[in-house]
Chains A and B, each alone.
Chain A
Amino acid sequence: MKRVVITGAGTVNSLGLDVPSTLKAMAEGKNGISELQFRDVDRLAIRIGGQIHDWDAEGRFNRQQMALYDRFTQFTLVAAQQAIGRSGLEFVGDLALRSGVVLGTSGGGLTTQDDNYRMVYEEGKNRVHPFVVPKLMNNAATSHVSMEYNLKGPCFTVATACASSNHAMGQAFNMVRHGVATAMVTGGSESMLCFGGVKAWEGLRVMSKDACRPFSLTRNGMVQGEGAAVFVFEEYEHAKKRGAEILAEVIGFAMTSDASDIVMPSKQGAARAISGAIQDARINASEIGYINAHGTGTAANDKTECAAVADALGAHADNIMISSTKSMHGHLIGGTGAVELLACIMALRDGIIAPTINYEEPDPECALDVVPNEARDAQVDVVLSNAFAFGGLNAVLALRKAP
Chain B
Amino acid sequence: MSQDVKEKIIEIIAEQAVLDPADVSLDQSLEDLGIDSLGLVESIFAIEETFDISVPFNANEPEQSDFDISSVAAIVSAVEALIADQKA
Residues in B with CB closer than 8 Å to A264 are 37
Known: A263-B38, A264-B37. A203 touches B45 (CB 8 A): yes
Within 8 A of A (CB), among B28-42: 37-38, 41
Number of interface residues of B (CB under 8 A): 12
B58 touching A205 by the CB < 8 A rule?
yes
B60 within 8 A of partner (CB): yes
Q: How far is the CB of A128 from chain B (nearest CB, A)?
A: 30
B23 within 8 A of partner (CB): no
**Complex CA–CA separation, A220 to B61 (angstroms):** 6
Known: A203-B45, A205-B44. A219 touches B60 (CB 8 A): yes
Q: How large is the interface on A (under 10, 10 to 19, 20 to 34, 35 or more residues)?
A: 10 to 19
A221 within 8 A of partner (CB): yes
Mask, A206-223, CB within 8 Å of B = 1, is: 111000000000011100
**Complex CA–CA separation, A348 to B66 (angstroms):** 45
B38 touching A299 by the CB < 8 A rule?
no
Residues in B with CB closer than 8 Å to A262 are 38
Known: A263-B38, A264-B37. A206 touches B60 (CB 8 A): yes
B57 within 8 A of partner (CB): yes
Within 8 A of B (CB), among A192-246: 203-208, 219-221
Task: Report which residue of B44, B45, B61 has the largest number of chain A beta carbons within 10 angstroms of its beta carbon.
Answer: B61
B45 touching A221 by the CB < 8 A rule?
no
The contact sample of 28 A-B pairs, CB cut-off 8 A, is: A45-B54, A203-B41, A203-B45, A204-B41, A204-B59, A205-B41, A205-B44, A205-B57, A205-B59, A206-B58, A206-B59, A208-B60, A219-B60, A220-B58, A220-B60, A220-B61, A220-B64, A221-B59, A221-B60, A262-B38, A263-B37, A263-B38, A264-B37, A298-B60, A299-B59, A299-B60, A299-B61, A300-B60
- Since A45-B54, A207-B58, A220-B58 are in contact, a sample of 9 more A-B pairs with Cβ atoms closer than 8 Å, ordered by chain A residue number, is A205-B44, A205-B58, A206-B59, A206-B60, A221-B58, A221-B59, A221-B60, A263-B37, A300-B60
Measuring CB to CB, which residues of chain B are less than 8 angstroms from any residue of chain A? 37-38, 41, 44-45, 54, 57-61, 64
Measuring CB to CB, which residues of chain A are less than 8 angstroms from any residue of chain B? 45, 203-208, 219-221, 262-264, 298-300
